[in-house]
Amino acid sequence: MRILGIETSCDETGVAIYDNSYGLLSNEVYSQAKLHSYYGGVVPELASREHICKIIPLILLALERANLKPNQINAIAYTAGPGLIGSLLVGITVGRTLAFSWKIPAIPVHHMEGHIMSSMLEENPPIFPFLALLISGGHTQLVNVTGIGLYKILGESIDDAVGEAFDKIARLLGLSYPGGSMLSKIAKDGIPGKFVFPRPMTGGNNLNFSFSGLKTCVANAITKNNNNYQTRCDIAHAFEEAVVDTLLIKCKNALDYTGLKRLVIAGGVSANCTLRKKMLNMGENYNIKIFHSRPEFCTDNGAMIAYVGMLRINSSSNQDDLSINVRPRWSLTELSPI
Ligand code: KG4
Ligand code: ZN
Q: Which residue spans within 65-114 are E strands per DSSP?
A: 75-81, 106-110
The verdict on residue 91 lying in a domain is yes
Q: Are residues 312 and 228 in the same domain?
A: no
Domain for residue 199, yes or no? yes
The verdict on residue 121 lying in a domain is: no
Same domain for 273 and 134?
yes
> What is the side-by-side order of every strand in the sheet holding 106-110?
23-31, 12-19, 2-7, 75-81, 106-110
What is the C-alpha separation between 71 and 73, in angstroms, rounded? 5
Does one domain contain both 50 and 132? no
CATH number of the domain to which 258 belongs: 3.30.420.40
Question: 32 C-alpha vs ligand 2 centroid, how far in Å?
Answer: 14
- Pairing state between β 262-266 and 23-31: unpaired
Cα–Cα nearest to 170, from 161, 181, 159, 162? 181
Q: Across the 338 residues of the chain, what is the mean pLDDT of every consecutive 10-residue run? A: 98 98 98 96 97 98 98 98 98 97 97 98 97 98 98 98 97 94 98 98 94 97 94 98 98 98 98 98 98 98 98 85 92 96
Residue 64 lies in a domain: yes
CA 2 to chain CA centroid, Å, is: 23
For CA atoms 201, 207, 208, 209, the dihedral sign is: positive
Judge if 103 and 62 occupy the same domain: yes
Find the 21 Cα to ligand 1 centroid distance in Å. Answer: 31
Q: What are residue 133's DSSP bridge partners? A: 142, 265
pLDDT at position 205: 84
78 and 138 together in one domain: no
Could you tell me the distance, in angstroms and rounded to a whole number, from the CA of residue 327 to the centre of ligand 1?
A: 21
Looking at the fold, whether 184 and 80 belong to one and the same domain comes out as no
Are 142 and 240 within one domain?
yes
Residues 41 and 89 in one domain: yes
| pLDDT of res. 317 | 78
- Is the Cβ atom of 184 under 6 angstroms away from ligand 1? yes
Ligand 1: residue of 166, 244, 293, 298 to mutate (most ligand atoms within 8 A of CB) is: 166
Interval between CA 137 and ligand 1 midpoint (Å): 6
Give the mutation target among 88, 116, 276, 299 for probing the ligand 1 site: most ligand atoms within 8 A of CB.
299
Q: Is 330 helix (H, G, I), strand (E, B) or coil?
A: coil
Q: Is the CB of 81 under 6 A from ligand 1?
A: no
Count of structural domains, the chain: 2
Asked if 25 contacts 19 with a C-beta cutoff of 8 angstroms, the reply is yes
Does 122 map to a domain?
A: no
Model pTM above 0.85: yes
- Tell whether 15 is covered by a domain: yes
Q: Is the CB of 272 under 6 A from ligand 1?
A: yes
Please give the number of the atom of ligand 1 that sits closest to the Cα of 9: 6
CA distances 174 to 46, 267, 305, Å, are: 23, 24, 34
Task: Please tell me whether residues 33 and 58 are part of one structural domain.
Answer: yes
Asked if 125 and 291 count as a contact pair (C-beta separation under 8 A), the reply is yes
Q: Is 19 annotated as a binding residue?
A: no
Please answer whether residues 284 and 164 qualify as being in contact, where contact means their C-beta atoms are separated by less than 8 angstroms.
no
- Which range marks the domain in which residue 61 is found? 2-116+298-334
The response to whether residue 87 sits with its C-beta less than 6 Å from ligand 1 reads no
152, part of any domain: yes
